[in-house]
């Protein structure tokens, strides 16, 4: 490599700086925060799926020694909270809508006292009829969960009525004419997918403190601090600037820590108790009363010509979103996700989210991705089989190409890595997969994470400071939920400023100290935040070079900046360290070296015109191959090998990039094979880690991850999103492998022994009858 | 959790005295008892820790067989040479249980005495098993529950070791305040017709002290197979313990016991009769497997267990065929 192309930090397999802290148990999580006089909070939860709260008598609890505050719905104000639609209160007011809904909370001297006080709170309920399935909930005489739904604030302006939380339609071409074509093969199936928990390692925790001036400070496991503070402020009835939210280390999120649930309760308790309050959830509370991926029933009909041209898709999707769906977990993106990575000229999809008296729906890694991918990618395999075509070839023939308008209508596809992923997957299969063992099958599936950030609308800013010793501090609002966002920030600043990555510190996720940031998620954090950090660092770099040029009496263009030194290219003996430049800056008119993103960003938008909203600059595609063995006598599926190739644009950190993809595949394997929240009359039955079956080490097959790097035009160093794409198609790839192994199509996730056996009995009973 | 006393007696006499109190509970590895206490499902006022008692952690040869103390851990059963060579079935059953960490703590006696895993019972429902008057699984989520011997309570016994001990014709030694007695492993477990709130014959204050494995006939070989939703650290959807005595290809003796399908480990006499005297072949295995699940009465969501149990029996028998080199 030449000196000009060698990178300071980008592309290197650098360990995350916080990994050492986490491995040694010294990382500070929200629940580790200890303040003088701090109390412990506990939540009293509804035992009813649907009931009117007649009265709450908390006098005995409040009078108990060691109890400092009891809060109920009367303490949280009338303003509802929520991310998009505001469909909940921090503590229930007037009625409860799911088992586990917070009804009251206690702050006491210790957890045991708080627990005992909860038992002294007397709540009189008047039970109401409850509904648990969408079909019941949309029946004409069904009890309505949210009678005032039409008047709820909703920044997404969703279509809603009765128990229908949201309905989205996607209509292109003429589906009826296409299905009536004489030469098409038509296939229809109904697919079912489960509720999935985020199952992060760290349960929710929050510590709230209110000082004598009324200033609220909350340390919380929340990955969108600027969003979370709004719910706290609205619950307390104070301006957002009175709330400072700090997100320290977060032990996993997977979508479940993007909206405030317990933080407003902790703040209300702290205000009443006049002492700091810590609130932490148990694993049972996480599984029984917090959010999960909504279950879906997807009826899908598709038509394909004998030459493999997809001509039509007609589908209806119904999501059970429980009693709360403020994040719009079901329909936000699903109508178009169902179309997937393909060009289909005639499409009619209707997606409906329905409120029921089940526990709340929320975001789980790639909201609506795994559900829709399971249906479409399963369906494509069956269509390929029906027309006698190789399943990958069918996908290749219909794949979106650069210049196509993506199904979302959000713009024109650019920088697509799909063809390359398909080619690499095919090559791997040819190279690595020999003849199959009995009852072994190979399944493929494509992943497309359809969300894309508009390059100009980033909702984020950054500040970069260069200190007198040559070190660099980056101020950013971004939270790191374990995905390595902070290490990415450090690498980008290091690269741009030519300063070793060890000398960059990241000050982050503090709503008072750091610039605004919309929140981690959507696989767009690197793209958005990486860019503003780059822009702020470039601004600081310009200042460094200008000051150095003045001191060295050369043109800025003559200078080279790397490894913490500014050198004159033609005479490297003439140099200044960044520290010397920063010291010089103190006495200069500038006063100090501080770069901010805003000015650089405006300039870029002017120069490149990339405010254009009609392009998909950083599409994330992947192709997966599952090799699985199915035991026809027990229905047990074991995944023997798993391959994924993903276009990441540019791997800013190789370790982190492959780690995200490996983790995503394992997340998807859990969804494919074992994970399902099971409930009876609104009560989650397997609300623990021995019955909610996460994948464990023996179930992770040999994983092969290949990266394709087709850069985005506007992402930092060409980067695209990574984290969500790998978990999306796994269930379909495994189902397709089962079909390849046995000729049996299982249409319900997870693909448990009971479901595979049931599919065998229904579709190939001879496998059960004619053995031995 | 309710406060409790803790005692760690050094003698069996002292232990049985301490256990006389109806609200006392014996503590072995604690892998089931402590979670039950944390969930408020049992609330003993006293824990009697058995781990200081002499002799309960030993594995000793007796008259061609073995005598195992009740506190021998599942991990030791899995790795002990004498068990692996003479009673392979039991080592396989122990290794199929739970996870390595839990097998390091969990004991032989505790595994036999663990409470059912039905999520209605564990979830605090006032069901038959909890002293109430209903089974919520009948009209509910019953996919993991019993297909045999259920009515009116459809728990399945969660033990992996239990079916293995019955297949090996083991005896279980019990010690109570009124003395010592032996029961056949098969008679140790109590079906729903006998009691809706107990799973074993243990009387109040009585504990398991030892298990005796008798010498097995010549040509004996056995295996334990378990099907799970997740291939480790989970309870059986169905399991089978199969122990045969073979003479050439002829079955001289057979014991087939199912796990995970009934409120007790479920012995299958009809399957055994189909095998004894016959040549072990694919045909006899299929016949015996069909007999093993005769009389099954699945509920709304667990019919798959009939196919599953049948498939496991057939596979276990295939594995025991002489040319398969297992034993």
Residues B200, B204, B210, B216, CA torsion sign: negative
In 3D, which of A659, A625, A668, A626 has the Cα closest to residue A645?
Answer: A625
Q: How do residues A511-527 score in pLDDT, each as one tens digit?
A: 999 999 999 998 999 99
Check A633 against B311: CB less than 8 A apart.
yes
Among 3.30.365.10, 3.40.50.720, 3.90.1150.110, 3.90.1150.10, name the CATH number for the domain at A17-26+455-613. Answer: 3.30.365.10
CA distance B143 to chain A (A): 8
Instruction: State the Cα–Cα distance between residues A646 and A241, nearest whole angstrom.
Output: 41
Instruction: State the Cα–Cα distance between residues A238 and A519, nearest whole angstrom.
Output: 22
Chain A contact probe: residue of B144, B239, B304 with most A CBs at under 10 A: B304
Q: Is A580 exposed, middle or buried (0-12, 13-18, 19+ CB in 10 A)?
A: middle
Portion 81-110 of B in contact with A at CB < 8 A: 99
Instruction: State the Cα–Cα distance between residues A269 and A42, nearest whole angstrom.
Output: 10
Size of interface A-B (CB pairs under 8 A): 89
pLDDT exceeds 80 at position A490 = yes
Residues B306, B311, B313, B314, CA torsion sign: positive
Model confidence band, residue A332 (pLDDT cutoffs 50, 70, 90): low
User: Which chain B residues touch A696 with a CB distance below 8 Å?
Assistant: 99, 230, 232-233
User: Which chain A residues touch B301 with a CB distance below 8 Å?
Assistant: 754
Instruction: State the Cα–Cα distance between residues A16 and A30, nearest whole angstrom.
Output: 20
Looking at the domain that runs over B220-319, which CATH code has it been given?
Answer: 3.30.390.50
Instruction: State the Cα–Cα distance between residues A482 and A554, nearest whole angstrom.
Output: 44
CA distance A114 to chain B (A): 13
- The topology (CATH level 3) of A410-436+617-772 is Aldehyde Oxidoreductase; domain 4 (3.30.365)
Q: How do residues A604-648 score in pLDDT, each as one tens digit?
A: 878 876 556 678 889 999 999 999 999 998 999 999 999 999 999
Task: List Cβ neighbours of A75 (8 Å cut-off, separation of 6 or more).
Answer: A91, A268, A272
Model confidence band, residue A205 (pLDDT cutoffs 50, 70, 90): very high
The alpha-helical segments, DSSP class H, found in A315-357 are 334-337
Q: Are A254 and A521 in contact (CB under 8 A)?
A: no
Q: Where are the domains of chain B?
A: 220-319
Q: Give rounded-to-5 percent helix, strand, coil for chain A.
A: 30, 25, 40
Residue of A673, A686, A768 lying closest to B307 (CB–CB): A768
In 3D, which of A404, A386, A415 has the Cα closest to residue A172?
Answer: A404
- The topology (CATH level 3) of A131-194+293-398 is Aldehyde Oxidoreductase; domain 4 (3.30.365)
Is B232 near chain A, with CB under 8 Å? Answer: yes
User: Which chain B residues touch A199 with a CB distance below 8 Å?
Assistant: none
Cα A459 to Cα A478, A531, A714, B68, distances in angstroms: 11, 11, 16, 67
User: Which chain B residues touch A685 with a CB distance below 8 Å?
Assistant: 119-120, 123, 141
How far is C-alpha A717 from the geometric centre of its chain's CA atoms? 23
Range from A244-248, A455-459, A510-514, A649-653 carrying the lowest mean pLDDT: A455-459
CA distance A381 to chain B (A): 25
pLDDT exceeds 90 at position A185 = yes
pLDDT tens, chain B, 327 aa long: 889 999 999 999 999 999 998 899 999 999 999 999 998 899 999 999 999 999 999 999 999 999 999 999 999 999 999 999 999 999 999 999 999 999 999 999 999 999 999 999 999 999 999 999 999 999 999 999 999 999 999 999 999 999 999 999 999 999 999 899 999 999 999 999 999 999 999 998 999 999 999 999 999 999 999 999 998 899 999 999 999 999 999 999 999 999 999 999 999 999 999 999 999 999 999 999 999 999 999 999 999 999 999 999 999 999 999 876 444
Q: Are A110 and A347 in contact (CB under 8 A)?
A: no
Range from A358-372, A456-470, A528-542 carrying the lowest mean pLDDT: A456-470
- Nearest C-alpha in B relative to A116: B1
CA distance B300 to chain A (A): 12
Q: How do residues A702-721 score in pLDDT, each as one tens digit?
A: 999 999 999 999 899 999 99
In total, chain A counts a number of residues equal to 772
- Nearest C-alpha in B relative to A634: B308
CA distance A762 to chain B (A): 11
Is B252 near chain A, with CB under 8 Å? Answer: no
Check A680 against B136: CB less than 8 A apart.
yes
Check B282 against A772: CB less than 8 A apart.
yes
Cα A17 to Cα A217, A429, A505, A534, A654, distances in angstroms: 26, 37, 10, 19, 15
User: Which chain A residues touch B237 with a CB distance below 8 Å?
Assistant: 753-754
How far is C-alpha A203 from the geometric centre of its chain's CA atoms? 17
Among 3.40.50.460, 3.30.2180.10, 3.90.1170.50, 3.40.109.10, name the CATH number for the domain at A33-128+199-289. Answer: 3.90.1170.50
- What pLDDT was estimated at residue A610? 56
- Nearest C-alpha in A relative to B280: A772
- Nearest C-alpha in B relative to A753: B229
Q: Where are the domains of chain A?
A: 17-26+455-613, 33-128+199-289, 131-194+293-398, 410-436+617-772
Model confidence band, residue A458 (pLDDT cutoffs 50, 70, 90): confident
Instruction: State the Cα–Cα distance between residues A768 and B15, nearest whole angstrom.
Output: 52
Cα A293 to Cα A252, B107, B161, distances in angstroms: 16, 38, 37
- What pLDDT was estimated at residue B327? 40
CA distance B253 to chain A (A): 21
Check B136 against A693: CB less than 8 A apart.
no
**DSSP helix/strand/coil, A370:** helix
- What pLDDT was estimated at residue A8? 87
String of b and e for A693-727 (b: at least 16 CB within 10 Å)? bbbbeebebebebbbbbbbbebbbbbbbbbbbbbb
Instruction: State the Cα–Cα distance between residues A684 and A678, nearest whole angstrom.
Output: 6
User: Which chain B residues touch A698 with a CB distance below 8 Å?
Assistant: 231-232
CA distance A693 to chain B (A): 7
Check B136 against A696: CB less than 8 A apart.
no
CA distance A634 to chain B (A): 5
Q: Do domains A17-26+455-613 and A410-436+617-772 have the same CATH topology?
A: yes
Is B261 near chain A, with CB under 8 Å? Answer: no
Check A680 against B318: CB less than 8 A apart.
no
A230: left (phi over 0), alpha (psi -120 to 50) or beta: alpha
Is B126 near chain A, with CB under 8 Å? Answer: no
Show which residues on chain A lie within 8 Å of chain B, measured between beta carbons.
631, 633-636, 638, 673-674, 678-680, 683, 685-687, 690-691, 693, 695-696, 698-699, 752-755, 757-758, 760-761, 768, 771-772
pLDDT exceeds 60 at position A772 = no
Is B230 near chain A, with CB under 8 Å? Answer: yes
Model confidence band, residue A4 (pLDDT cutoffs 50, 70, 90): very low
In 3D, which of A427, A315, A321 has the Cα closest to residue A378?
Answer: A315
Is B120 near chain A, with CB under 8 Å? Answer: yes
pLDDT exceeds 60 at position A114 = yes
Mean per-residue pLDDT, A554-573 = 95
């Amino acid at each position: 490599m030449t000196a000009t192309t060698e990178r300071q930090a980008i592309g290197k397999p650098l360990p995350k700086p916080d990994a050492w802290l986490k491995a040694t148990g010294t990382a500070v999580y929200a629940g580790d925060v200890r303040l003088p006089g701090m109390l412990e909070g506990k939540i009293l939860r509804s035992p009813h799926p649907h009931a009117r709260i007649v009265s709450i008598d908390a006098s005995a609890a409040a009078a108990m020694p060691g109890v400092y505050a009891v809060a109920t719905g009367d303490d949280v104000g009338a303003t509802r909270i929520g991310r998009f639609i505001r469909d909940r209160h921090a503590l229930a007011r007037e009625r409860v809508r799911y088992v586990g809904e917070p009804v009251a909370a206690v702050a006491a001297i210790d957890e045991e006292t708080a627990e005992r006080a909860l038992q002294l709170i007397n709540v009189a309920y008047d039970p109401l009829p409850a509904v648990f399935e969408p079909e019941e909930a949309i029946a004409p005489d069904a009890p309505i969960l949210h009678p005032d739904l039409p008047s709820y604030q909703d920044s997404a302006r969703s279509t809603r009525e009765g128990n229908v939380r949201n309905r989205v339609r996607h209509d292109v071409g003429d589906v009826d004419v296409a299905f009536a074509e004489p030469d098409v093969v038509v296939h229809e199936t109904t697919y079912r997918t489960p509720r999935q928990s985020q199952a992060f390692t760290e349960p929710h925790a929050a510590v709230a403190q209110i000082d004598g001036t009324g200033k609220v400070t909350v340390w919380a496991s929340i990955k969108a601090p600027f969003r979370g503070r709004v719910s706290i402020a609205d619950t307390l009835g104070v301006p957002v600037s009175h709330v400072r939210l700090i997100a320290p280390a977060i032990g996993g999120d997977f979508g479940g820590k993007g909206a405030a649930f317990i933080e407003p309760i902790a703040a209300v308790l702290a205000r009443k108790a006049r002492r700091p309050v810590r609130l932490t959830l148990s694993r049972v509370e996480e599984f029984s009363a917090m959010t999960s991926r909504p279950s879906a029933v997807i009826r899908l009909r598709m038509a394909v010509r004998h030459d493999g041209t997809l001509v039509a898709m007609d589908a209806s999707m119904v999501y059970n979103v429980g009693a709360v769906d403020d994040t719009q977990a079901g329909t936000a993106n699903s109508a178009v996700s169902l179309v997937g990575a393909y060009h289909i000229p005639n499409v009619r999809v209707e997606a409906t989210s329905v409120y029921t008296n089940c526990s709340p729906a929320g975001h789980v890694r790639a909201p609506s991705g795994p559900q829709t991918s399971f249906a479409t990618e399963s369906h494509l395999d069956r269509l390929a089989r029906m027309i006698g075509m190789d399943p990958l070839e069918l996908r290749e023939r219909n794949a979106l190409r650069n210049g196509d308008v993506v199904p979302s209508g959000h713009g024109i596809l650019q920088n697509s890595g799909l063809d390359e992923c398909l080619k690499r997957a095919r090559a791997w299969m040819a190279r690595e997969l020999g003849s199959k063992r009995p009852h072994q099958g190979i399944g493929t599936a494509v992943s497309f994470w359809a969300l894309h950030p508009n390059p100009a609308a980033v909702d984020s800013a950054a500040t970069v400071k260069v200190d007198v010793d040559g070190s660099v501090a980056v101020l950013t609002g971004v939270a790191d939920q374990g995905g390595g966002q902070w290490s990415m920030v450090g690498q980008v600043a290091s690269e741009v400023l030519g300063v070793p990555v060890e000398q960059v510190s990241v000050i982050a996720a503090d709503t008072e100290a750091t610039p605004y940031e919309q929140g981690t998620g959507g696989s767009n954090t690197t793209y958005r935040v990486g860019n503003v950090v780059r822009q702020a660092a470039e601004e600081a770099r310009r200042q460094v070079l200008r000051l150095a040029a003045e001191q060295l009496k050369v043109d800025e263009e003559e200078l080279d900046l790397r490894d913490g030194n500014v050198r004159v290219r033609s005479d490297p003996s003439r140099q200044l360290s960044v520290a010397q430049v920063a010291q010089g800056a103190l006495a200069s008119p500038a006063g100090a070296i501080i770069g901010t993103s805003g000015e650089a960003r405006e300039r870029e938008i002017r120069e490149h015109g990339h405010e254009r909203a009609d392009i998909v600059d950083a599409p994330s595609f992947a192709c997966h191959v599952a090799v699985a063995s199915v035991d026809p006598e027990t229905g047990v599926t074991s995944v023997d090998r798993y391959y994924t190739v993903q276009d990441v644009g540019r791997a800013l950190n190789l370790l982190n990039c492959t780690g995200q993809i490996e983790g995503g595949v394992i997340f998807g394997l859990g969804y494919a094979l074992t994970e399902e929240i099971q409930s009876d009359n609104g009560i989650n039955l397997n609300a623990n880690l021995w019955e909610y079956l996460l994948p464990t080490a023996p179930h992770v097959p040999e994983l092969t991850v290949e990266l394709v790097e087709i850069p985005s035009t506007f992402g930092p160093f060409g980067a695209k999103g990574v984290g969500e794409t790998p978990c999306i198609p796994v269930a379909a790839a495994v189902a397709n492998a089962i079909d390849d192994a046995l000729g049996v199509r299982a249409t319900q996730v997870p693909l448990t022994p009971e479901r595979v056996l049931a599919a065998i009995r229904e579709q190939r009973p001879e496998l059960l009858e004619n053995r031995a | 959790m309710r406060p409790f006393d803790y005692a760690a007696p050094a003698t069996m006499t002292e232990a049985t005295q301490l256990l006389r109190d109806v609200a006392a509970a014996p503590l072995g590895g604690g892998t089931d008892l402590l979670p039950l206490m944390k969930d408020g499902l049992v609330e003993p006022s006293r824990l009697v820790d058995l781990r200081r008692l002499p002799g309960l952690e030993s594995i000793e040869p007796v008259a061609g067989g073995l005598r195992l103390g009740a506190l021998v851990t599942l991990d030791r059963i899995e790795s002990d040479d004498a068990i692996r060579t003479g009673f392979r079935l039991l080592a396989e059953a122990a290794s199929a249980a739970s996870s390595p960490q839990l097998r390091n703590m969990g004991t032989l006696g505790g595994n036999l005495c663990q409470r059912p895993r039905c999520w209605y019972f564990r979830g605090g429902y006032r069901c038959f098993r909890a002293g109430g008057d209903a089974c919520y699984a009948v009209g509910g989520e019953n996919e993991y529950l019993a297909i045999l011997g259920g009515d009116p309570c459809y728990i399945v016994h969660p033990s992996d070791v239990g079916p293995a001990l019955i297949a090996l014709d083991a005896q279980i030694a019990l010690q109570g305040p009124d003395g010592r007695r032996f029961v056949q492993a098969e008679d140790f477990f109590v079906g729903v017709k006998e009691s809706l709130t107990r799973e074993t014959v243990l009387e109040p204050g009585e504990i398991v002290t030892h298990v005796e494995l008798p010498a097995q006939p010549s040509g004996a070989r056995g295996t334990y197979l378990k099907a799970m939703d997740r291939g480790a650290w989970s309870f059986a959807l169905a399991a089978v313990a199969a122990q045969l005595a073979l003479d050439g290809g002829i079955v001289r003796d057979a014991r087939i016991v199912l796990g995970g399908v009934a409120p007790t480990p479920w012995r299958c006499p009809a399957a055994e009769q189909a095998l004894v005297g016959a040549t072990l072949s694919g045909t006899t295995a299929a016949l015996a497997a069909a007999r093993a699940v005769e009389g099954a009465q699945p509920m709304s969501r667990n019919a798959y267990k009939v196919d599953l149990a049948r498939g496991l029996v057939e596979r276990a028998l295939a594995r025991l065929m002489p040319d398969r080199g297992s034993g």
